Structure 1
Amino acid sequence: MEQLAGSEDDGMDAAAALKGRVALVTGAASGLGRATAIALAEAGAHVVVADIDADGSERTREQIEEAGGSADVVPLDVADDGSRRQVVADLFDRHGNAFDVLVNVAGIDRPGYITDIDLEDYRRVQAVNCEGPIFLTSEFMKRVQHLPEERTADVVHVVSLSAITSGSGAIAYNGSKAGFLNATRCIQRELREKAVRQADGTERPFPCRVQAVIPAAMDTPMMEQWGIPAHLMMPPAAVAEMVRTLLLLHPSAFVPEMQIVPRLEPNFPR
């Protein structure tokens, strides 16, 4: 019987489908990051809650453990190269090949029109939303390329519908997400082309897949600054469920990009 990535039985209960896998979730102190961490813990993963917000991270961990899940907390500034390298190295030292899931959720927004955009705000958004997850993924892949032949690692990039749409007052955010989406497509192509040479001299496909979730607006703390009515946004748990779905796909399957938008009832106010 073929195995799911990191699982032992195709017929296993969904609540244990990620059992034995260690998943690093960035931005997990609140919003979609927290919802994703909870969803993966519910599926049996040991979740590493990563964020610069220590108090929020602890609340996420507490929620997971109160529900019977397994989690711990690591401080991570995705915009800092030293922080990224240290976290990845420490997790592989602690968990070995069990650490085979990375979900890049962390993101920030700094509104600004072209006539008043702040340079430091712009650079910080680019660093957190684009540069950070790209180089965190790079550190992760340097390690998982040595996974045993029967294993497949997973990376899920949470992008944004803003990567393919344009809105005023969001130059930094939209630009960062567009760059992140295109970088994700480049990584996916590289993985299709890249083979890993094994000890016996043979080659195998790169043992990692990278998939992207492209959500529309969600009801998270980051969106409060825009004043969007709640009924026009999705709950973070709906998007977190899609992240979990991608991780549960058979390792031979691959969804390059999945868009998810709110379903508006006909009688909702516009």
Structure 2
Amino acid sequence: MPAVQGRVAFVTGGASGLGRATCAALAAAGAHVVVADIDPAGAEATLTQVQASGGSGEVRPFDVTDAGHRAAAMAELFAAHGEDFDILVNVAGIDRPGYLVDVDEAAYAQVFAVNCHGPVFLMKEFLNGYLEVHGGEREAEIFNVLSISAVTVGSGAVAYNSSKAAFTKATEIFQTEVREFSHPCRIQGIMPAAMDTPMMEQWHIPAERMMQPDDVAAEILHALQRPRTVVGQNLIFTPRPENYPR
């Protein structure tokens, strides 16, 4: 079983919610986590939690929509950590409600930039950087947080659902490409249902009907530790049926 101990993991959206829970889970398993987020104060709070539990990490102020941020972060982390930097977890995501009669074009574009375009090009920067420094047999890992919204239809969520559908398809294409070109990288993804995170507060879903970030983070950690013979998979992960939002 591949382990995460001693490896360096870059986690976007690490300042809160699932990103914070993922950082905590990876650090508890022995990884050095890079808490990347546009919210430095929240990222510092995550790092404090990680270190208080005996984990190792650092904060990286990071905007996934900024090409300069993406290139600089990858270059600097590979320079600092070499091939030990071999895990990328794309968690960052936003949601801006909008209906057909009032959907805002700028907000729609922002959702796609954070949820799809930014992570796609971050994956490119990460893999190219890893190919430059890779000298051993260990595969890099890319893990993408998708959403069950990619395959369901929700009123008022055209930007979020569409962006997650696009990111899911991009993930599937890149899974095919890393196998086709024998890149030393495995790409996986997970499709959670509604989670009890700050992003979901605008939808007013009762907390008891939502998933907990710690549970999804545990699944991410488990997936990263699967045998290498398990290649890219996208997992649909939902609450118990009696709790599923209706």
TM-score computed with the length of structure 2 as normaliser: 0.96
In structure 2, distance between residues paired with 1:68 and 1:243: 20
Amino acid at match of 2:9: A
Contact in 1 for aligned 2:186/2:232 (Cα 8 Å)? no
Alignment of 1:103-252 (within 5 A): 103-146=89-132, 147-194=134-181, 205-252=182-229
Q: Which runs of 5 or more structure 2 residues have no equivalent in the other structure?
A: none
DSSP 3-state at the match of 2:93: coil
Matched, 1:92 2:78: yes
Bigger CA radius of gyration: 1
Tell me the matched-pair count: 245
Deviations 1:81-116 (A, max 9, x none): 111111111111111110000000000000000110
1:258 to 222, 231, 235: 235
DSSP 3-state at the match of 1:145: helix
In structure 1, distance between residues paired with 2:228 and 2:140: 9
Contact in 1 for aligned 2:78/2:130 (Cα 8 Å)? no
Deviations 1:168-210 (A, max 9, x none): 100110110000000000001111111xxxxxxxxxx210000
1:264 CA displacement: 4.1
In structure 1, distance between residues paired with 2:111 and 2:9: 24
Amino acid at match of 2:214: A
In structure 2, distance between residues paired with 1:55 and 1:161: 30
Calculate the aligned-residue CA RMSD, in Å. Answer: 1.5
Q: Which residue number in structure 2 is paired with residue 11 of structure 1?
A: none
Amino acid at match of 1:121: A
DSSP 3-state at the match of 1:138: helix
In structure 2, distance between residues paired with 1:65 and 1:46: 10
In structure 2, distance between residues paired with 1:159 and 1:56: 22
Contact in 2 for aligned 1:158/1:212 (Cα 8 Å)? yes
1:148 CA displacement: 2.4
1:269 CA displacement: 10
Give aligned-pair identity as a percent: 54
In structure 1, distance between residues paired with 2:59 and 2:166: 29
